[in-house]
Amino acid sequence: MEIFSMEGWYFLLRWFHFLAGITWIGVLYYFNFIQTPYFGTELGGQARSAVVRGLVPNALWWFRWGAMFTFITGWLIVLTKLGHDGVPLTSGYMTRILTGGLMGTLMWANVWFVIWPAQQVVIANAEKVAGGGEADPTAAARGARAGVASRTNTLFSIPMLFFMGAASHLNFLGNGLDGGQGLYWIVALVVIGLTELNCLVGSGTAGQKPLATVSGTIHAGLGLTLVLYLVMTFTL
């Protein structure tokens, strides 16, 4: 394999996609599985301000740029498959990869347009309070919204990774008649869209209860994976 061949191009894209994705999802899981539960403890509550001011900004840098490079390289892979290889949009491969890609894109958007702007307010508020200033009254609500978006991304990551892996390794899934994906995409878009809507505008315990705990978030992610798998199985 020559590195400047098409095979080399695919390899480099996948390599950088894996590196960026591991960085992004690793930090996402750190936030949700380790840092947030720790803040809920007595010792964690005492350390929260120092951690938010000292550790979180650096973690968020790796978090958001990991998301950006995962997003860019992922869509370059898809576009190369479509343009160079001529893989049709109606193929089982594209149905599987685009299902994962849709959730990955929503996760990327949540990072850059929900979590990062909200966390900037939270960090600035922590710095202000530590310096003797008055607390920003909007910081708590912005932090809560960032938390819901982060847990939504954790939920999405489970089916996203399933369908990314399934694209090349579950060739039977979604290989129905070409052109018959309409019903699948209608149902999938509704289910995924409602999950994202809760992230953006959901309020109160009714919308956020499944995401209130680590176990609840994981179970919700596994449930969404199963739902999309069954929808793809029975509609294609």
pLDDT tens digits, residue range 48-58? 999 999 999 99
What are the residue boundaries of the structural domains of the chain, listed by start? Answer: 6-235
Query: Token digits for 112?
Result: 């850059």
pLDDT at 139: 95
pLDDT at 203: 57
pLDDT at 206: 46
Q: Could you tell me if 89 and 82 are in contact, meaning their C-beta atoms sit under 8 angstroms apart?
A: yes
pLDDT tens digits, residue range 121-141? 999 999 999 999 999 999 999
Q: Of 43-47, 61-65, 209-213, which range is least confident?
A: 209-213
pLDDT at 101: 97
| Residue 1 pLDDT greater than 70, yes or no | no
Q: What percent of the chain has pLDDT over 90?
A: 79
Q: Could you tell me if 74 and 101 are in contact, meaning their C-beta atoms sit under 8 angstroms apart?
A: yes
pLDDT tens digits, residue range 214-234? 999 999 999 999 999 999 999
| Residue 21 pLDDT greater than 70, yes or no | yes
| Residue 202 pLDDT greater than 80, yes or no | no
The whole-chain average pLDDT of the chain stands at 92
Mean of pLDDT values over 168-197? 87
pLDDT tens digits, residue range 67-87? 999 999 999 999 999 988 888
208: pLDDT confidence band, cut at 50, 70 and 90? low
